[in-house]
Amino acid sequence: MKLKPTLAAAAALATAWGGMASAETLRVVEVLTTNERTGLMEEIVAEFETDHPDVDVELITVPWDSAFERILTMTMSGQPIDVIEMPERWISTLAVNDVLRDLEPWLNEWEGADQLTGSTMEFTKIYDDTSYFVPYGYFVRAMYYNKPLLAEAGYDAPPETWEEFNEMARAVSEIDGKYGYCLRGSTGGFVGWWLAVSAMTGADSWFNEDGTSIFDSPEAIEGIQMMLDLYNDGAAPEDSVNWGFNEQVSGFYSGTCAFMDQDPDALIQVRERMGREDFAVAPVPIGPAGEISPPIGMIGWAVSNSSENPELAQEFIGRLSAPEVNLEWAKFMGIVPAVEIPEDDEYYNDPQFAGFFTELEDDRWDLMTWPAHLPELGEFFDVLAVETSQAALLGQMTAEELGQEWDAFLTEAQQRWMSEQ
């Protein structure tokens, strides 16, 4: 990345060179970062700046755990931003506030569009049938398990059902200093709660036909209670109530916990710190009805309406979305790419990806997308669900009260949306 001169130096240069115009700045906000991915991004930026000598790409890193609220504040205050990295669940909130640019006219002209998968092109319009972002990859939740810990507890295979999962998690927790489940109690932890609710209800949607949510049903409360019991019975570490992504993944690769529900991006850290023979990834356990609906999440690039050069911002997204770049990017992230995977690709043919691809191919795992049509989705997922589930884990709310809290918020949001259609 280019070094930026100080204001004093820039002023001096401008005076000496007769007021030469400064380089145009392209501001790119990133929310998911690793050392490896940052290195790749800097290579892409350097190539882009070489092709555009009058452009200076400024990377703005926003920590994931506070990213939704930070980006909402940045965009609503009119801060000039060009490209924003975001998951699909933020789109409705930002789009309804006129923050995001419609990318369809550009996609219709961009020569790289036909190299994205059909699903990727469909998902660009996940909200309001408008192309507000371009996904660069997909997250599918599966179950990581520690083979030595399961063997020590007397098991030689991962659980296939939630009943078996609960049994094994508690058995491992009888081992001194070990726990069955790496609970994620902080930001992003709602996925684990949804898996338990979906398993018990068999639901592939948060809502009934009349717009009421399913979260206060007896079966949903049973799933919520299951999560509370795992924590309160000592099958999850006490401090996991505050765990985010890094703490959860660390709890798994350190051998503290036997199970962790996570996306393929966690493979990067786990592979670096565990022997390949010590762990594997299985599909998430299915519920009593013989099925479950894990979420398929996605993340991608959007252009802000505050961009001073949206055409350049779109060109930068095009560079990031080119097949050879996207495939390498997805491997650095450990996610399913937005372009077709070559049949002979060794990375994705690795057996440790089998659990994820089983869920993509077997109808017992009915993958679902989050209800991205709701402008309140980001607030629910990243704020309300976190605060209330932590309160329940700490004994400040019952399972019934937690389900009712979620139900009231989501039912109001869904029925408001229905009334506007």
Rounded distance between C-alpha atoms, residue 91 and residue 371, angstroms? 11
Q: Does 36 lie in the same domain as 102?
A: yes
How far apart are alpha carbons 397 and 393 in whole angstroms?
8
**CA angle (248, 250, 251) in 5-degree steps:** 65
Which pLDDT does position 164 carry in this prediction? 98
- One domain for residues 132 and 149: no
The region, left, alpha or beta by phi > 0 then psi within -120 to 50, assigned to residue 69 is: alpha
Report the mean per-residue pLDDT for the chain: 91
Residues 280, 383 within the same domain: yes
Percent of the chain's residues with pLDDT above 70: 95
- The pLDDT of residue 21: 39
pLDDT for 360 = 86
Q: How many domains does the chain have?
A: 2
79 and 223 both lie in a single domain: no
The encoded tokens of residue 46 equal: 């350097």
The residue range of the domain holding 275 is 142-294+361-420
Q: What average pLDDT does this structure show over 197-206?
A: 96
Do 334 and 380 have their domain in common?
A: no
Asked if pLDDT for residue 2 goes beyond 80, the answer is no
Q: pLDDT-derived band of residue 226, with 50, 70 and 90 as boundaries?
A: very high
**Span 222-240, average pLDDT:** 98
Asked, for residue 147, whether it belongs to a domain, the answer is: yes
Average pLDDT for 354-383: 92
- For residues 375 and 282, membership in a common domain is answered with yes
Distance from C-alpha of 286 to C-alpha of 309, rounded to nearest angstrom: 48
Q: Is residue 382 part of a domain?
A: yes
Domain at 258, CATH number: 3.40.190.10
- Residue-level pLDDT at 22: 53
| Burial annotation 281-304 (CB, 10 A radius, 16+ → b, else e) | bbbbbbbeeebbbbbbbbbbbbbb
| Same domain, residue pair 166 and 188 | yes
